Amino acid sequence: MIVVLFIEFAKLCENLASTSSKNKKVELMADFIKALDEEELTAVVSFLTSKSILPSLGLNLRVGYVTLFKILCEATSISPWHLHKVYVKYGDLGDAAYEVFSNKGLKVKPLISRDLSIKVVKEKLVEAGTFIGERSTQYKRDSVLSLLLNCTPLEAKYLTKIILGDLRIEVSTGLVLEALSKAYNLPLDDVRHVTLYNPYIDEVAVTISKGEYRNIGVKIMRPLAFMLAQPLQLNEVADHLKEHKCVTEYKYDGVRVQLHKKGEDVELFSRRLEKIGRSFPEILKAGRKLPEELVLDGELLAVKDGHPLHFTLLQRRLRRKKPDEALIQEIPVEYYVFDILYLNGKELTSLQYLERRRILESILKENVGIKLAPIFEAESEERVRMLFEESIRLGYEGLMLKDVAGPYQLGSRGYLWVKLKRPLTTLTVVVTAVEWGHGKRSGLLSDYTFAVRDEEGRLLNIGKAYSGLTDEEIKYYTNLFKNLAVGELPTGYRVRPEIVLEVAFNSIQKSTRHESGFALRFPRIERMRPDLSVNDIDTIDTVKKIYESQEVKPE
């Protein structure tokens, strides 16, 4: 098979950026994908979905705007002042790279000048992602510089965008899946089905290309798509119980976690599909006492003396990859299990809820650190209201209602599971831009612009918040945001949409300032949500519903 050059991928991106037609984008990607071998395919679908490294490898490139800016200056022998001037002209570092590479000769010619292939770009970026430790920044710089020194202007433009994780060509993961469907002539539902069992787009693409999608199933240590719940108001419970026979559980205010076990190997996966087991060694130890092979679903809580602790304490545990014994004792955690998806070679998701519950009860005996989430009968609206008030009194977030006959629907947000919470006073949003603070917060990125999403996954800004975090948290996230920067603003940076938070607010008003058409009045950060991804944030429909439910609707 002919080696596909990186310049061809760059031309594809130019064509994708030039059309607003989704059908045309799908057609362009499908035609391109057909010509790729397996190694090229994994790279292309990763790049198109704004991943600089194959998702299945679990690596992060961590080359941010500031570092890449310096590398571009070195590659083109121009001053930072000159590059900044060009950047301001376009507002995009990739477009700036195109101009300076077009107008300037390279400072250092590579020893061997060669046409860049997609495979070489992939190999170099993976290599850069493996570097850790004190000199990792220098090693990453060398890897990226070696690529840029072989780039044409158009290649430099899109290599820069890939590294920053911001192609800006209006291509979503959903469109890439449609392109895979078209390229290999498969029903789109079959392609989407694969993603329920494998969240890694590079591996999904290979499975589809080989025609192995019919054999997809549970693989231990590969996270599954979580089943999610629809929100329900208390005054809707009576009607819901007419349609669904339910049991209830407390709605825990923690981190949703899948536990995977195979032999002595145990791992925890968050909703972001990230491995977080190292942060909770006591849960991994407890997990080794469970049966040979299984996948559990549950909630990780900070708990002391049987009572849930505030979520911010759990965040401290999440941020520490290797907690010491003092922190483990200070903030003890427990894993409350409420479902089982797989046991010793058998997938259980198609079983009814009560059948899965009976299996869970048979294997979860007394285990320090891992608990069976209690359930309660939900025979009437009055009973549900009583349990709801009790859950709030005990420090939980609310109540879950689960249909006793329902299967575990991977990746589904339906009415087999519903959640009752206190009246909505927060939104889950993602940070899209950050600005430098003032006074005691000068030198820190403390002002966050945030967004919700529409039905197509586009991000729509809805407000800005700068209160609610401690000085320690702001320092921590300042370092994080520097690595996530994709472009400059007069007072800060645009950032990759990876940091999720909950914001409280007094009310919602209509606004022409934000693309969403709405703005939050007096927003404040309630808490950070490192366990969630951009796919978990609230939608513009939720914002509209809250606005319409307000007795007073500020214009």
Catalytic positions are 251
Give Cα 320 distance to the centre of its chain.
19
Q: Report in angstroms the alpha-carbon separations of 424 from 419, 476, 477, 546.
A: 12, 29, 26, 8
Q: What angle do CA 407, 456, 31 make, to 5 degrees?
A: 100
519: which strand partners?
509
CB atoms near residue 113 (< 10 Å): 9
Nearest CA to 38 out of 4, 66, 69, 72 is that of 4
Q: How far apart are CA 56 and CA 46, in angstroms?
A: 10
Q: What is the rounded radius of gyration, in angstroms, for the C-alpha atoms of the chain?
A: 25
Q: How far apart are CA 74 and CA 80, in angstroms?
A: 9
Mode of pairing for the β-strands spanning 426-436 and 500-504: antiparallel
Give Cα 296 distance to the centre of its chain.
20
Which residue type does 170 have? E
Nearest CA to 202 out of 367, 384, 48 is that of 48
Q: How far apart are CA 465 and CA 524, in angstroms?
A: 5
Q: How far apart are CA 262 and CA 193, in angstroms?
A: 24
Which residue type does 227 have? M
Q: Report in angstroms the alpha-carbon separations of 167 from 95, 127, 142, 171.
A: 11, 21, 22, 8
DSSP-assigned letter for residue 522: S
SS (H, E, C) 178-231: HHHHHHCCCCHHHHHHHHHHCCCHHHHHHHHHCCCHHHCCCCCCCCCCCCEEEE
Output the six-digit token pair for 428. Answer: 């889950």
Q: Residue 345 burial by CB count (10 A; 0-12/13-18/19+): exposed, middle or buried?
A: exposed
Decide if 148 contacts 140 (C-beta within 8 A): no
Q: How far apart are CA 240 and CA 259, in angstroms?
A: 31
Give Cα 547 distance to the centre of its chain.
27
DSSP string, 41-96: HHHHHHHHTT-SS-GGGT------HHHHHHHHHHHHT--HHHHHHHHHHHT-HHHH
Q: How far apart are CA 74 and CA 63, in angstroms?
A: 15
